[in-house]
């Protein structure tokens, strides 16, 4: 199976192209990327994660964050050799790069948010996307639930994880200090 035919990438495409739910784009692709062995931060999937994050920021008015993030995405889309052959098959990668560069240009000119779609070249991927879109429950296009999703979701698990991380660091720091005193 081609990496772009994975169900989580297919869901990403539905979210990106059909209702511009960039937050969900990030969530599903991060789950896919984290399931891969080695979790390489230079993996081509991370370019899509960054692109969706940048689009989310731009729509919400964070132009500095959007520009920085989409520039990182562009750097990661610059594939070579085998990766370019593999990841350029299913979608129009050159057009995607051009569209992402256009976003950076618009951001530099302080122009308003303007979405774009990722062009699918593979009939099989297009069919998978169409089938998935029939079964997925999508939030209404342009709704506050999409635009401000990170602010409206339940963050209790994230806050608990952060607190646990802070406590672990405190314990490690205390152990280091004790080790130095001996």
pLDDT tens by residue, 129-161 = 999 999 878 655 565 555 655 555 544 555 566
Q: How many CB atoms lie within 10 A of CB 10?
A: 22
Q: How many CB atoms lie within 10 A of CB 126?
A: 14
Per-residue pLDDT of the chain (182 residues; tens, 9 = 90+): 788 899 999 999 999 998 899 989 999 999 999 998 877 888 888 999 999 999 999 999 999 999 999 999 999 888 766 776 777 788 999 999 999 999 999 999 999 999 999 999 999 999 999 999 998 786 555 655 556 555 555 445 555 666 777 788 888 778 777 777 66
- CA angle, residues 70, 144, 103, in degrees to nearest 5: 20
Pairwise CA distance, residues 8 & 11, whole Å: 5
Both tokens of residue 70?
């989409």
pLDDT of residue 181: 65
Nearest to 90 by CA among 118, 130, 53: 118
Strand partners, 91: 120
């Amino acid at each position: 199976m081609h990496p772009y035919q994975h169900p989580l990438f297919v869901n990403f495409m539905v979210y990106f192209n059909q209702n511009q739910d960039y937050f969900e784009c990030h969530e599903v692709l991060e789950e896919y990327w984290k399931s891969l062995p080695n979790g390489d931060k230079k993996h081509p999937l991370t370019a899509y994660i960054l692109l969706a994050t940048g689009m989310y920021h731009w729509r919400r008015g964070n132009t500095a964050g959007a520009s920085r993030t989409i520039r990182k995405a562009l750097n990661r889309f610059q594939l070579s050799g085998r990766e370019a052959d593999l990841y350029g098959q299913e979608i129009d990668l050159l057009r995607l790069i051009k569209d992402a560069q256009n976003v950076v240009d618009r951001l530099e000119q302080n122009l308003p948010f303007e979405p774009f779609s990722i062009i699918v070249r593979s009939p099989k991927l297009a069919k998978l996307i169409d089938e998935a879109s029939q079964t997925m429950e999508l939030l209404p296009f342009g709704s506050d639930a999409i635009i401000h999703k990170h602010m409206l979701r339940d963050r209790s698990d994230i806050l608990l994880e952060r607190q646990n991380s802070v406590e672990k660091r405190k314990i490690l720091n205390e152990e280091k200090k004790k080790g130095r005193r001996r």
